[in-house]
């Protein structure tokens, strides 16, 4: 069989533990036999990040800005235990955090939906993609425990010497401790870039956009988010019309009620705290971490695809001891198909897109046919499901792929 030529390189970011083992197998069994592809390889395993003083993470992010498409394996974010385990020079920051800030990107989490793995919410038939604004608000706030009577004021002191603006937040009286207070902020630049990434993603995926705040209560802060999204919607009106999609603004309460009755298929853009909470709700509602994909998109349309889960350490320990594992490889396979399909779209090579679609179909057919890793057994409606190990699942996908091509 002749391989399909992929015109432009894809940046490959390798990772750690169980996902690294699965990663190599995906490449060898499902990608390289079919695609003639230049992978610009960066080893983001924790040891190699340590050896390069984390240089490799920066390089991989800049390579993504250059080539436009990356696929990333899950990586260890070191904590104290990991520093000891690997004898690291220091507690390197989260690679995802580094890549996100270099790319100025927004993370979109999208579940893979299957007919025999129903969502917890009956109405949900199509994936709901969540976008969380990952900057500012309570995540960068300042808080004070007010432990005696006194007054709290909020002051903005302009750098140009014009008079300060002060508001009294509250005057506390009574016994100690008498309460709490906080101040938070966001920037137009960050909100705009979030909005741009959301519209870029939704137009690319041809899905409607929802955005929501509590602007009835927060008439300046939340209203700013509403207004900047509305501005971006105006700028993108023509592109949205040609993609056949709409933008809807809701009060957050209304959106939460609506989403329970809605079949899904939309992008749900959320402020930082809302996205933190609702992304976990949506992920749990769709079933398994092994079925949740994640893509980082920047405002200029550069994409980095990955699985939403971590390196599955517990399974890796079993694998190291030579014991059987049944780790779900679906989200990692979909990271590859997402990147390959995007590459094909950007390059204008429909045969590359078609290959990615065939691989996704092979995965879906395998599971809908009743063969799945054991994390899905408790969720499936299949009458006689077959729970298999990590490798037998991938063999089944490979066999199905051979039929699809
Ligand atoms: P995790 O790797 O997501 O795994 C947590 C548990 O969820 C697993 O033990 C397993 O449960 C289940 N699970 C997750 N993915 C699965 C899959 N594909 N198939 C089957 N079961 C799956 O989270 P963690 O154990 O908290 O973190 C491990 C490492 O990953 C940490 O070092 C962390 O820093 C890193 N991490 C990386 C990323 C990333 O790179 N994007 C994200 C999160 C965490 P059972 O054991 O019950 O089967
Ligand atoms: Mg959360």
Ligand 1 centroid, distance to 47 Cα (angstroms): 19
Nearest CA to 288 out of 374, 362, 361, 375 is that of 375
Q: How high is the mean pLDDT of the chain?
A: 95
The residue whose C-alpha atom lies closest to atom 27 belonging to ligand 1 is 310
Is the pLDDT at 317 greater than 80? The verdict is yes
Residues 126-140: pLDDT tens digits? Answer: 999 999 998 889 988
Ligand 1 centroid, distance to 312 Cα (angstroms): 4
Atom of ligand 1 nearest to the CA of 72: 40
> So what's the pLDDT on residue 177?
76
**Candidates 311, 323, 387: which one to mutate for ligand 1, based on the most atoms within 8 Å of Cβ?**
311
> So what's the pLDDT on residue 104?
80
Q: What are the backbone angles phi and psi of residue 307, rounded to the nearest 5°? A: -85, 150
Atom of ligand 1 nearest to the CA of 327: 19
Atom of ligand 1 nearest to the CA of 307: 41
Is the pLDDT at 246 greater than 80? The verdict is yes
Q: Which architecture characterizes domain 1-114+293-405 according to CATH? A: 3-Layer(aba) Sandwich (3.40)
Is the pLDDT at 1 greater than 80? The verdict is no
The structure's pTM equals 0.89
Atom of ligand 1 nearest to the CA of 330: 18
- Tokens of residue 59, six digits: 């390089």
pLDDT band for position 165 (50/70/90)?
very high
Nearest CA to 373 out of 22, 15, 13 is that of 22
**Which ligand is nearest to the Cα of residue 100, counting in written order?**
1
Atom of ligand 1 nearest to the CA of 19: 18
Is the pLDDT at 376 greater than 90? The verdict is yes
Residues 284-293: pLDDT tens digits? Answer: 888 888 899 9
Ligand 1 centroid, distance to 325 Cα (angstroms): 14
Ligand 1 centroid, distance to 266 Cα (angstroms): 26
d(CA 66, CA 5): 20
**Candidates 74, 117, 312: which one to mutate for ligand 1, based on the most atoms within 8 Å of Cβ?**
312
Q: In the chain, where are the structural domains located?
A: 1-114+293-405, 118-141+184-286, 143-183
d(CA 93, CA 58): 12
Percent of the chain with pLDDT over 90: 88
Is the pLDDT at 276 greater than 80? The verdict is yes
**Which ligand is nearest to the Cα of residue 330, counting in written order?**
1
Nearest CA to 323 out of 312, 315, 335, 331 is that of 315
Q: Is 64 exposed, middle or buried (0-12, 13-18, 19+ CB in 10 A)?
A: buried
Nearest CA to 288 out of 128, 132, 74, 120 is that of 120
CATH topology identical between 1-114+293-405 and 118-141+184-286: yes
Nearest CA to 287 out of 216, 170, 377 is that of 377
> So what's the pLDDT on residue 284?
84
Range of weakest confidence among 44-58, 82-96, 279-293, 373-387: 279-293
> So what's the pLDDT on residue 283?
85
If you average pLDDT over residues 347-362, what whole number do you get? 98
Ligand 1 centroid, distance to 255 Cα (angstroms): 30
- For the four alpha carbons of 322, 308, 60 and 100, in that order, the dihedral sign comes to negative
If you average pLDDT over residues 143-148, what whole number do you get? 93
Residues with C-beta less than 6 Å from any ligand 1 atom:
74-77, 96, 289-290, 306, 309-314, 327-328, 375
**Which ligand is nearest to the Cα of residue 98, counting in written order?**
1
> So what's the pLDDT on residue 66?
97
Check: CATH 3.40.718.10 for 118-141+184-286?
A: yes
Ligand 2 centroid, distance to 274 Cα (angstroms): 9
Task: Kindly give, in sequence order, each residue whose CB lies less than 8 Å from that of residue 162, ignoring residues fewer than 6 positions away.
Answer: none
- Tokens of residue 228, six digits: 């900047």
Ligand 2 centroid, distance to 346 Cα (angstroms): 32
pLDDT band for position 180 (50/70/90)?
very high
Is the pLDDT at 176 greater than 80? The verdict is no
d(CA 76, CA 44): 9
- Tokens of residue 18, six digits: 């169980």
């Amino acid at each position: 069989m002749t391989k399909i030529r992929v015109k432009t390189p894809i940046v490959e970011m390798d990772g750690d533990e169980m996902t690294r083992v699965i990663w190599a197998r995906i490449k060898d069994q499902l990608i390289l036999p079919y695609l003639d592809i230049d992978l610009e390889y960066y080893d983001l395993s924790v040891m190699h990040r340590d050896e390069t003083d984390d240089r490799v993470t920066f390089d991989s992010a800049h390579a993504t800005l250059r080539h436009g498409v990356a696929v990333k394996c899950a990586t260890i974010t070191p904590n104290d235990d990991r520093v000891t385990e690997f004898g690291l020079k220091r507690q390197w920051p989260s690679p995802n955090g580094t890549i996100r800030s270099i790319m100025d990107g927004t993370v979109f989490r999208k579940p893979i939906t299957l007919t025999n793995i129903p969502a917890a919410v009956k109405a949900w038939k199509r994936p709901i993609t969540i976008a969380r604004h990952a900057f500012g608000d309570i995540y960068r706030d300042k808080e004070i425990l007010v432990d005696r009577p006194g007054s709290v004021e909020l002051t903005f002191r302009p750098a140009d010497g014009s008079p300060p603006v002060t508001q009294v937040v509250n005057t506390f009286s009574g016994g100690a401790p008498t309460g709490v207070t906080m101040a938070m902020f966001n920037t137009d630049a960050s909100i705009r870039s979030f909005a741009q990434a959301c519209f870029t993603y939704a137009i690319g995926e041809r899905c409607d956009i929802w955005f929501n705040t509590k602007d009835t209560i927060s008439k300046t802060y939340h209203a700013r988010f509403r207004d900047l999204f509305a501005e971006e919607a105006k700028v993108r009106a023509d592109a949205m019309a040609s993609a056949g999609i709409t933008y809807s603004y809701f009060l957050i309460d209304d959106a939460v009620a609506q989403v329970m009755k809605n079949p899904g298929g939309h992008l749900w853009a959320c402020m930082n705290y809302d996205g933190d909470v609702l992304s976990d709700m949506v992920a749990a509602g769709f079933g398994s971490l092994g079925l949740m994909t994640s893509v980082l998109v920047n405002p200029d349309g550069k994409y980095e695809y990955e699985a939403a889960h971590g390196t599955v350490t517990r399974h890796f320990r079993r694998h190291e001891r030579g014991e059987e594992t049944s780790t779900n490889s679906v989200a990692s396979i979909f990271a590859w198909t997402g990147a390959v399909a995007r590459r094909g779209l950007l390059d204008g090579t429909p045969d590359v897109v078609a290959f990615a679609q065939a691989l996704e179909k092979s995965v879906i057919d395998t599971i809908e046919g009743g063969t799945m890793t054991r994390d899905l057994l408790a969720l499936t409606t299949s009458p006689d499901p077959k729970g298999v190990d990590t490798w037998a699942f991938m063999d089944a996908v490979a066999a199905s792929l051979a039929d699809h091509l």
